Chains A and B, each alone.
Chain A
Amino acid sequence: MTTGADTRTGPYLELFAGRGAGGPVGARRQQAIERFEAAGFPGSRDEEWRQTNLGPILRARPVPASGQVLGDGGALPFLYPDCDSMVFVNGRYAPAASSPPEGVTAFSLADPAGAGADLLAEHLGASVDGRASCSADAGVHPFAALNTALFEDGVALGIPAGAALERPIQVLWLSAPSADAAAAEGGAQASIEVSFPRLLVVAGENSQASVIETFAAADPAAGGYFVCPAAEFVCGAGSVVRHTRLQADAAGAFHLGFQHARVDRSAAFDSSSLAFGGALVRNDTVALLDGEGADCTLDGLYVLDGSQFTGNHMRVEHRQPHTTSHQLYKGVLDGQARSVFNGRIYVHQAAQKTDAKQTNRNLLLSKAALANSNPQLEIFADDVRCTHGSTIGRLDEEALFYLRARGIGFEEAHGMLVHAFAREVTDKATFEPLRRDLEARLFASLNGVRSNGQGG
């Protein structure tokens, strides 16, 4: 590592030093910070990171998010009905705003006790400390390691074996940066409020659960803050875990997320990632299909405008026979927005009869928007079916003319086509309040896209 990297990692190491490493996962936190220190932040030559400009985040001095306290009912606009919920403000559990699920081991990581401590000791951080790691070439994920070392709070959910939860569990990660942090621009070094939300879901054998993560800002006009979440899913044999990740951060926010799923025999992990907000957003996903017949579905949608950047880096490892994975990521880009989709499917030698499909489709609405798509297959088994495809295109002029020839005006026709493109992903949401919310956010984003990006 160069000395330049030291000045960037230093402030984060100081955060750790000021906090200590106690509790049931203290040793693991210590290990994580050491790994982070050894690896440093990725440089411009790091293949997985060279298209992500970390400069704006790393130039700022990190301070723990602690700003505002949320007023009564402040979380309500973000919470769905018919749902259990756990609310976190600036990475801290807000019990008064939450209605945690019953029949489930659900607790804040800041205060684990009894069975909770055991759950943590067994599972937390497994994805970054090597117990459930990827193949050797995957390396250390610096931000996942940072999260393990630095999270203050978070949620752990243990779904008992055989339990089928009827209601989804919504985990709301609300950022409420203080006003003076945003106003620190122009000083010697601007500071940035940072939080490290942590989610652990351990689904027992043959259990079923649906978890909705919502990342949002109490004030959508909030200035820059940095949210660095990590989520781990341990899907026991035969379990069915649905996960929705709605990223609706403030326009100026930085968001570097990591999620990791280990899927055991005949289990299914179904994850949907919807990205609407933020200035610089990454979401790195690792899915390990670790038992025969394990299945994962990874869907995503990103709707970008202005100078937004969103990167989705996927790694799916087929480690056992008869495992299946399906990925569908779609992007709508306007303005000078940029996106990166890096999808890697890795089929181990033992994983015969693997069925893997990966699709990334991008719709560019302006000349300056730019989408990068890099699907990659690495296959070491000989009896598999793997397909991948990516497209980067513009709106279908023929379809636009067809709609207009029927009397539908340009704006409405344009909106219909973009919406039609995107809804392939949003329509998969089966929980009605979520589907309606996604629909509304899609419409709102597209209206913004349309008014900015029509261009005549």
Chain B
Amino acid sequence: MLRVSDLHAKVEEQEILKGVDLEVKAGEVHAVMGPNGSGKSTLAQVLAGKEDYEITAGSLELDGEDLQEMAPEERAHAGLFLAFQYPVEIPGVGNSYFLKAAVNANRKARGESELDAMDFLKLLRERATLVDVDEALLRRPVNDGFSGGEKKRNEILQMAVLEPRLAVLDETDSGLDIDALKTVAAGVNALRAENRAFVVITHYQRLLNYIVPDHVHVLLDGRIVRSGGSELAHELEEKGYGGFDGARAEA
């Protein structure tokens, strides 16, 4: 589904990604772990099409289509979803209005009929229940004045409503208490499906106790230095990222 090959990306003349390879198949959950500054968030933003980053080499493909040729909204239409590390506050735009606009923009782009107010509300309520989001949040402006946990839940809600084929979760666990973490994980697990894949980007192993990945990758200094099964996350927890310096030297 997703194929990242030898991806190099820089921002303001500083190279952040230095040759990332990643292949994600439908139905899989991949975890990308790494310390601060390793390039995790850059990878997420580059996938979503943030213009601040310049891709200097390599390729990004979703279902064989070149993502670099696609605007951020076109990537969303193709089924890509990024749960932001720092969801943006948008005062003046109601949360449910925003979600309806997003759902219908995607449906329209895919040649489907737009949902009317009633059908959308039904969908929204159902998904809000699924990911345990208070209906009061739906009536407030997008992320405006939300607590950190509310913002992260709102990201998961958007994911549940938009039903992406590939969801990239950028440190969705950071700053969450254990209850919120469980809620977020339960939301992700409820959406796991054969035709859907996840890339879970995280600093800590804890989230992976609740979202058990099929593959774990260690990102260090802009490269994936090691890949393995879910046991790799536990190894990281014990040794820390310091233990992978040698691997980086070999890579």
Contact = CB atoms under 8 A, between A and B. Distances in A.
A406 B93 contact: no
Given A401-B50, A402-B87, A416-B101, A410 B92 contact: no
Contacts of B105: 406-409, 412
B38 interface: no
Contact of B93 (A401, A405, A410, A420): A420
A423 B94 CA distance: 12
Interface stretch (B59-67, B69-77, B132-140, B242-250): B69-77
Contacts, number: 74
A421 B98 CA distance: 15
B77 A407 contact: yes
B76 A406 contact: yes
Interface string B176-218: 0000000000000000000000000000000000000000000
Interface in A389-411: 396, 398-399, 401-410
Interface in B73-129: 73, 75-77, 81-82, 84, 87-93, 98, 101-102, 105-106, 109
A344 interface: no
Nearest to A398: B88
A204 B51 CA distance: 60
A412 B93 contact: no
B39 interface: no
A203 B77 CA distance: 57
A53 B17 CA distance: 54
Interface in A261-296: none
A350 interface: no
Q: Is the interface of A mostly helix, strand, loop or mixed?
A: helix
Nearest to B92: A420
B92 A419 contact: yes
A421 to B, nearest CB: 6
Contacts of B43: none
- Residue of B72, B81, B109 ringed by the most chain A CB atoms within 10 A: B72
17 contacts: A399-B88, A399-B90, A401-B88, A402-B87, A403-B90, A404-B76, A405-B49, A405-B76, A407-B73, A408-B102, A409-B73, A412-B105, A416-B93, A416-B98, A417-B90, A417-B93, A421-B92
Interface of B: 48-51, 71-73, 75-77, 81-82, 84, 87-93, 98, 101-102, 105-106, 109, 141, 158, 162
Interface of A: 396, 398-399, 401-410, 412-413, 416-417, 419-421, 423-424
Given A405-B48, A409-B73, 14 more contacts: A396-B90, A398-B88, A401-B50, A401-B88, A403-B102, A407-B102, A407-B109, A410-B71, A413-B73, A416-B98, A416-B101, A417-B93, A420-B92, A420-B93
Q: State the 6 A-B residue pairs at the shortest beta-carbon distance, nearest first.
A: A420-B92, A407-B76, A404-B72, A406-B102, A407-B106, A402-B88
